[in-house]
Structure 1
Amino acid sequence: MKPVFANSAWVKAPEKLILRGGRWKQRYLRVRYGFFIHPKVGPILIDTGYTSHGLSAPGRSAWLRAYGHLLSPKLNLGAQPASFLKRFGLAPKDIKGIIITHFHADHVSGLAGFPNARLIASGVGYSNLQKNSSLKNIRHGIFPELLPFNFSARLEPIEDHSRAAVRQLPDSYDIFKDGSVMAVPLPGHAQGHFGVLFTQNKTPLLYATDTQWLIDALQPSARPQLFPKLISEDYGALCQSADQVAAFHNSGGAVMLCHDDSSTQFDVEEGAQP
């Protein structure tokens, strides 16, 4: 069971904001989402990336339109979920589940296109989203309007799954009850933020989502400070999560991030297959 990742869009960011000691040059960051086929459950997505539907569909709030204008993601039309799935002979209706690593717009904007999927996410994160003021949600890039109207009914909280010890990482939730795919709590970036660990790869792979923007920034000496302090849910927890991911990486585990601009063997553009 091999995960494959597509890049839904490119987003520009000054290197100095996302890498300590970086320059003011622009880095073009990816906005990945993942896909794999579980042998018993079937086709599964990890997040949805940015989609045109999410950012510009009729009726979107002024706040969401402003968010899209501010970040100005350049969509990869050929890597939008429907097009991506088509190359594997699948359609959105065939997706059995979506693992939602957190509720930022660049991870949930396409959820409405998958009406048959169960939604696997942090129940705590979802509860907090509902309790937050509109201003707090907007400040952290969370727009409840992007969630399907029946999200609550389709939600499968990761917290309902059993936990198991994982080397170098926090105790993690066994998503499919077979130890193959684990939801790894990585707090700090956002409420309910977690990574996804594939334990059965020859080299275990941790998709650490938004623990940092760049792989290089996982190391303490290269971590940005000011920008994460401004936008993170909990900067102290973010640093602790980065320490854990770095320890996993340094011990021989493979690590991927959503926004790192380097290509990997798991990116579909590099020929990866599920």
Structure 2
Amino acid sequence: MREVTTIALDTGSCSHPQRMTIRDGSLRAIDYPALAMLIVHPEEGPILFDTGYDPAFLAATEPFPERFYRWATPVDLKPGRDAASQCEQLGYAPSEFHHVILSHFHGDHIAGLHRFSNAAIHCARAGLEDAHKGNRLMSTRRGILRSLIPGDMGERARFFEEAASVPLSPDLHPFERGADLLGDGSLIAVELPGHCPGHWGLVLNDARHGLHFLVADAAWSLDAIRRDVPPPAITSGFLGQTARVRTTLGSLHHLWKRNSDIRLTPCHCPERAAEARKGE
């Protein structure tokens, strides 16, 4: 795989009872970070995997019924911590980005899209179609904030399902195939079904970490992957499909047991967020 460089961006957090994300967790509310990943490609330049929180999320959850989303998961986003501002601080203007990759369409993963208006948006067709189903209340219940989807999404979308299908390295077993997003083997999208329709992760060859699998919301923590402990059915069934969530988590657990050197990064993992704050 062609080598790229990654920088994890901690874009704020939300608060939620731990037991809603891992079956044996505490009833106490804890903070869940929202990580975006800045990827620097040797030819394509800066690329973003998910956007995390953004002030646009707060604006989108002002009216009802969208306000219920903010009540269910109260958000802490300090000034200058959104992905676009952090990229600017690192010397990458949002206008320079030619690619943004979305794991799925939940509001905490797409809120910053409006800042990257020149970028093609790589995503799942199934996810985009699902995001437009039902009324605003139904969408909010499923974690979708339609006002965060750009109006020119149809022109900018590049669908995972239409990218070239390629075999994955045996090091990634039991995952077998992915979608080569740029055609050069550098960014391989991998379907991770269950969390919601059109939920995918991304595999890359990281200059700092070697083989790196961005697993989005297939698990909320590395702890869940290591111990193969899923969220309770009330959570997985509310957002997606419980059986498929557990199968995907089991596959990630099997991957970790076979090859613990592979770096796995869930978007809401406290361990990975702590590393990001230290610049690791």
TM-score (norm 2): 0.88
Matches of 2:214 and 2:86, distance apart in 1: 19
Give the aligned residue type for 1:66: F
- Which residue is equivalent to 1:241? 248
TM-score (norm 1): 0.90
- Which residue is equivalent to 1:105? 107
Pick closer, same or farther for the CA change 1:150–1:206 going to 2, 3 Å. Answer: same
Give the aligned residue type for 1:138: T
The answer as to 2:45 corresponding to 1:39 is no
Q: Which of 53, 58, 70 is equivalent to 1:55?
A: 58
Unaligned runs of 5+ in 2: none
Pick closer, same or farther for the CA change 1:224–1:198 going to 2, 3 Å. Answer: same
Pick closer, same or farther for the CA change 1:47–1:229 going to 2, 3 Å. Answer: closer
Equivalent positions of 1:83-94 (< 5 A) are 83-94=85-96
Moved >6 Å (runs of 4+): none
Q: Which of 177, 186, 189 is equivalent to 1:180?
A: 186
Unaligned runs of 5+ in 1: none
Q: Which of 200, 210, 232 is equivalent to 1:194?
A: 200
What do residues 210-255 of structure 1 show as CA deviations (whole Å, max 9, x unaligned)?
A: 0111211125653232343342311111111112222222222210
Following superposition, the deviation at residue 30 of structure 1 comes to 0.6
- Which residue is equivalent to 1:258? 267
The answer as to 2:26 corresponding to 1:23 is yes
Pick closer, same or farther for the CA change 1:247–1:36 going to 2, 3 Å. Answer: same
Q: Identical aligned pairs, as a percentage?
A: 24
Matches of 1:160 and 1:242, distance apart in 2: 25
Matches of 1:198 and 1:184, distance apart in 2: 11
Pick closer, same or farther for the CA change 1:131–1:21 going to 2, 3 Å. Answer: closer
- Which residue is equivalent to 2:126? 124
Pick closer, same or farther for the CA change 1:69–1:126 going to 2, 3 Å. Answer: same
Q: Which of 260, 270, 273 is equivalent to 2:278?
A: 270
Count of residue pairs brought into register by the alignment: 270
- Which residue is equivalent to 1:208? 215
Pick closer, same or farther for the CA change 1:215–1:119 going to 2, 3 Å. Answer: same
Question: 8 Å contact 1:213–1:258 — kept in the other structure?
Answer: yes
1:40 alignment partner, SS class: coil
Matches of 1:16 and 1:65, distance apart in 2: 23
Cα-Cα RMSD: 2.1
